[in-house]
Chain A
Amino acid sequence: MAYFRSHVLVSVDPVCVEKGAYDLIDTLQDEIVKQGLVDEVQVLETSRIGNPETEGIDLMVYPEAVHYTNLSLDDVPFLVEEHFLKGRVAEQYIRETKKFLDEELNAPRTKEVRIILKNIGEIDPLNIEDYIARDGYMALGKVLTEMTPEEIIQEVLDSGLRGRGGAGFPTGLKWRFIRNANGDQKFMICNADEGDPGAFANRRVLEGDPHSVIEGMIIGAYASGASQGYIYCRAEYPIAVRTMKIAIEQARNFGLLGDDILGSGFSFDLEVRMGAGAFVCGEETALMASIEGQRGEPRPRPPFPAQKGLWEKPSNINNVETYANVPQIILNGAEWFASLGYKKSTGTKTFSMAGDVKNTGLIEVPFGITLREIIYDVGGGIKEDKKFKAVQTGGPMGGCLPESLLDLHMDYEALAEAGSILGSGGLVVMDEDTCMVDIARFFMDFTQDESCGKCTPCRVGTRRILEILTRICEGKGKPGDIDTLRYLCDEINENSLCGLGKGAPNPVKSTLEHFLDEYEAHIYEKRCPAKVCKSLIRFEIIDGLCTGCTLCARNCPVDAISGERRQTHVIDPDICIKCGICEQLCPYDAIEIK
């Protein structure tokens, strides 16, 4: 099958045929043959493109996704010469904007629907007027002049908005609890302690569209009867902290925070509190303890924060993303939001793509999209076109999913069933050169370090698991280790006090389930299939390929390589520290990892 570098799609719907589409196709083909491009450019027929109102014919060229409009037969030669021969877009025939194209033709990579990311990159986050120009604070205006608190809560409930921090609890319900709680003062808290490695959606919103969060919080406060709010932002995000403080100041200056907002009689103010580097403070009770000036240790619930939260007063905690969705739900209506998504997960979700995928960064897609679509269509596939091995979802408390599960539809329930979690929306993609035991150990190292230490199953259990995994990676695995690991995972999961403990075993559990062969290879064969675990690999110089150029020997930091010029070199395995420098440098690919 010939490989065409370009495809031209010409619409042959009835209207276009009337206008002469087939003539155009013929002319195109002739021109392509004339220019000697017949092996490179393929002309295809397709359904309607563009506006039927125009006199001429529209066509699309891929892969550039260029849309030429209103063409007549005379235009063809120039177009072919310009675009296919000279490689330049023939500007005079260009249709408006790419945005239009994507909606019509559903071009790959744009399966995104941007709700909370709508303003990012389009506004100056430090200028409140940019936000207002794009309907900022209009939702607040509507809420304060046209809706009662109960109506707001109902609207949010009907939209199906669920907590975007990972727990997925219906937001409207949470607000109702606070509303009905007894207390002379109530608090509205925003959890911006996005600690999950690989998640950065909150940061993007805080830095790029801070007012969407502020507006969401004010609306929530009005609905639930809160008078003071806190945004708890992790210290690792200093720019987000700064941006948020400036935004709050601006909102205050404009009278959108403080007393008697928009003349409604409702008063609410906001303050930013910084974290200090404790992952566990993403857990709501630990977060509140931190604001109170204590160690960030979770406490048992009940009582829930809605009854007794910050300083024992009724408090509502929601994630950055949850609040950011609120203004648009109010403006566009619950039905609009509920129409997007899948089953019980309405609306969109941001996913932070990281790891071995080509397009890393933040995307926002409706629930229901499959993992495969995210990784290959939106993510562009695996870096260097290597093979996919696993994807870890939801942060360090999420599971690792293998290829067989790539067709699952992303939503809260599906991921939980698969042994992982939606969590923060982080997606770490891993290619064939990843050792899954090493990954499990790596995540356990993180969770063990971040364990607050309060309850024994988590504090001691995670340490035990880490010890065993480390031993296995060092080639000292013992029969019975796998059973012990399984037992520990269950114990920790069932008996821990908070989400960190409950979720900590997930990477281990899921890798045991889907990649058992790798564990067995490490333990019984003392072999690391992915060639990662240093104690289980050996660097060897291949006799037939080595030319004795001495490049490796000269660069070896521990002088482990010996050999005469032009003679095959040898690596001493006892000295070798497996840093990998020689393998990277060798111009003849003569060094193999066994």
Chain B
Amino acid sequence: MPVIKSLEDLKRIREEALKKQALKSTSGKTEIIVGMGTVGIAAGARETLKAILDFIDHNNLEDIIIRQTGNIGIDSFEPIVQVILPGEEKVSYGRVNPEMAHRIIKEHVLGGEIVKDYQIQD
């Protein structure tokens, strides 16, 4: 792990970190982000995440990155799942249970169409 001995070191690390992030977004992969903060978990995010992973595994889907994050925003919408298709804007879905998660992957991730019924404002 790099030890930062000066401000220059810090700036260098920032540049590298930014480059890494830029790479990620142009990697051509779809990102699915699941809010796994305490509130999300209390609302059932673990089951949702499992459903997503199972679906992807079961159907041998590739080029999808699954990430976790903390509590995203309005608690009453948890579990929150966000989908970023390559080159597109982030779309947020609220109160996602395992069934809804399957639908989202089928229609949005694979089919390219946002599932309006489940969408929430950012």
Taking Cβ atoms with an 8 Å cutoff, the residues of A that contact B are 65, 87-89, 96-99, 109, 120-125, 129-130, 132-133, 135-138, 141, 144-145, 203-204, 207-208, 237, 239, 250, 253-256, 262-263, 358-362
Q: Which residue of A lies closest to B88 (CB)?
A: A91
Q: What are 27 residue pairs bridging A and B, where the CB atoms are less than 8 Å apart in the complex?
A: A88-B116, A97-B89, A98-B121, A121-B69, A121-B71, A122-B69, A125-B70, A129-B17, A129-B20, A132-B17, A133-B14, A133-B20, A141-B11, A144-B7, A203-B38, A204-B37, A207-B37, A208-B69, A208-B70, A239-B38, A255-B4, A262-B10, A263-B5, A360-B76, A361-B75, A361-B77, A362-B73
Report yes or no: B71 in contact with A98, Cβ–Cβ below 8 A. no
- B2: Cβ under 8 A from any A Cβ: yes
Evaluate contact between A208 and B121: CB separation under 8 angstroms: no
Q: How far is the CB of A400 from chain B (nearest CB, A)?
A: 22
Residues of chain A with a CB closer than 8 A to B74's CB: 359-362
> What residue in chain B is nearest A258 (Cβ atoms)?
B3
A253 touches B1 (CB 8 A): yes
- The answer to whether A207 touches B76 (Cβ under 8 A) is no
In the assembled complex, which residues on chain B have CB atoms less than 8 Å from the CB atom of A361?
Answer: 39, 71, 73-77
A138–B17 alpha-carbon span in the complex (Å):
14
> Which residues in window 1-43 of B have CB below 8 A to A?
1-7, 9-11, 13-14, 16-18, 20-21, 35, 37-39
Chain B residues with Cβ under 8 A from A250's Cβ? 1
- Nearest CB of chain B from residue A386's CB, rounded to whole Å: 16
Chain A neighbourhood of B68, CB < 8 A = 124
Which residues of the other chain, B, contact A121 by a CB distance below 8 angstroms?
A: 35, 69-73
Contact A256 B4 (CB under 8 A): yes
Interface contact A145-B75, CB-CB below 8 Å? no
Asked if A204 and B6 make an inter-chain contact with CB atoms under 8 angstroms apart, the answer reads: no
B7 A145 Cβ-Cβ under 8 A:
yes
Chain A hits for B37, CB < 8 A: 204, 207-208, 239
Other than A124-B67, A204-B70, A254-B3, give 19 A-B pairs with Cβ distance below 8 A: A65-B121, A88-B116, A109-B121, A120-B71, A121-B70, A121-B72, A125-B70, A132-B10, A132-B14, A132-B17, A136-B14, A137-B10, A207-B70, A208-B69, A255-B5, A256-B4, A359-B74, A361-B39, A362-B71
Residue B114 at the A interface, CB < 8 A?
yes
Query: How many angstroms between the C-alpha atoms of A255 and B3 in the bound complex?
Result: 5
- Could you say which of B4, B9, B121 has the most chain A C-beta atoms within 10 Å of its C-beta? B4
Interface residue total, chain B, C-beta cutoff 8 A: 38
Per-residue interface assignment for chain B, residues 58 to 87, with 1 indicating a CB less than 8 Å from any chain A CB and 0 otherwise: 000000000111111111110000000000
From B122, which residue of chain A is reached at the shortest CB distance?
Answer: A98
A568 to B21, CA, bound (A): 69
* B70:A87 contact, CB within 8 angstroms: no
Known contacts A359-B76, A362-B73; decide if A133 and B116 are in contact (CB<8 Å): no
Known A-B contacts A121-B70, A121-B73, A362-B71; the reply to A262 vs B121 at CB < 8 A is no
Main secondary structure, interface of B, reads mixed
B interface, CB within 8 angstroms of A: 1-7, 9-11, 13-14, 16-18, 20-21, 35, 37-39, 67-77, 89, 113-114, 116, 121-122
Given the complex, which residues of A lie within 8 Å of B116, measured CB to CB? 87-88
Chain A nearest Cβ from B49, distance in angstroms? 15
- Chain A residues within 8 Å of B35, by CB: 121
Assembly CA distance A133 to B25 (angstroms)? 14
Contacts A254-B3, A255-B5 known; A120 to B72 CB distance under 8 Å? yes
B86 to chain A, nearest CB (A): 15
| Cβ A130 vs Cβ B17 within 8 A | yes
Say yes or no: A262 contacts B17, CB within 8 Å. no
A residues within 8 A CB of B39? 361
Cross-chain contact of B6 among A97, A133, A262 (Cβ < 8 A): A262
> Contacts of A254 on B, CB cut-off 8 Å?
1-4, 13
Whole-angstrom CA separation of A141 from B10 in the bound complex: 8
User: How far is the CB of A454 from the nearest CB of chain B, in Å?
Assistant: 33
In the assembled complex, how far is the CB of residue B105 from the closest CB belonging to chain A, in whole angstroms?
19
Q: Given that A65-B121, A135-B14 are known contacts, is A362 also in contact with B75, CB under 8 Å in the complex?
A: yes
A263-B6 CB under 8 A given contacts A98-B121, A253-B1: yes
A264 to B113, CA, bound (A): 53
Q: Which of B4, B5, B21, B70 is within 8 Å of A120, CB to CB?
A: B70
Least CB separation from A65: chain B residue:
B121
B11, B21, B76, B113 interface centre (most CB from chain A within 10 Å)? B76
| A137 CB contacts on chain B under 8 angstroms | 10
Considering the chains assembled together, what is the distance between the CA atoms of A418 and B73 in angstroms?
A: 29
CB-nearest residue of chain A relative to B16?
A: A129
Contact A138 B70 (CB under 8 A): no
Which residue of A65, A133, A135, A358 contacts B76 across the interface (Cβ within 8 Å)? Answer: A358
Question: A89, A141, A237 — which one has the most chain B CB atoms within 10 A of its CB?
Answer: A141
Question: Within the assembled complex, what's the spacing in Å between the Cα atoms of A136 and B17?
Answer: 11
A207→B5 contact, CB < 8 A: no
Q: How far is the CA of A361 from the CA of B121 in the complex (A)?
A: 14
With both beta carbons as reference points, the residue of chain A lying nearest to B90 in the complex is identified as A97
Question: Could you tell me the distance between the alpha carbons of A125 and B20 in the complex, rounded to whole angstroms?
Answer: 17
Are A207 and B38 in contact, with the CB atoms below 8 A? yes
In the docked arrangement, what's the CA distance between A204 and B70, Å? 8
**Chain A nearest CB: distance from B65 CB in Å?**
12
Residues of B with C-beta under 8 A to A138: 10-11, 14
CA distance A360 to B35 in the complex (A): 16
Known: A120-B72, A208-B70. A262 touches B5 (CB 8 A): yes
Q: With a 10 A CB-CB cut-off, give which of B1, B18, B37, B77 has the most chain A CB atoms.
A: B37
Residue of B nearest to A124 (CB): B69
- Shortest CB distance A98–B (Å): 6
Bound complex: CA A262 to CA B70 (Å): 29
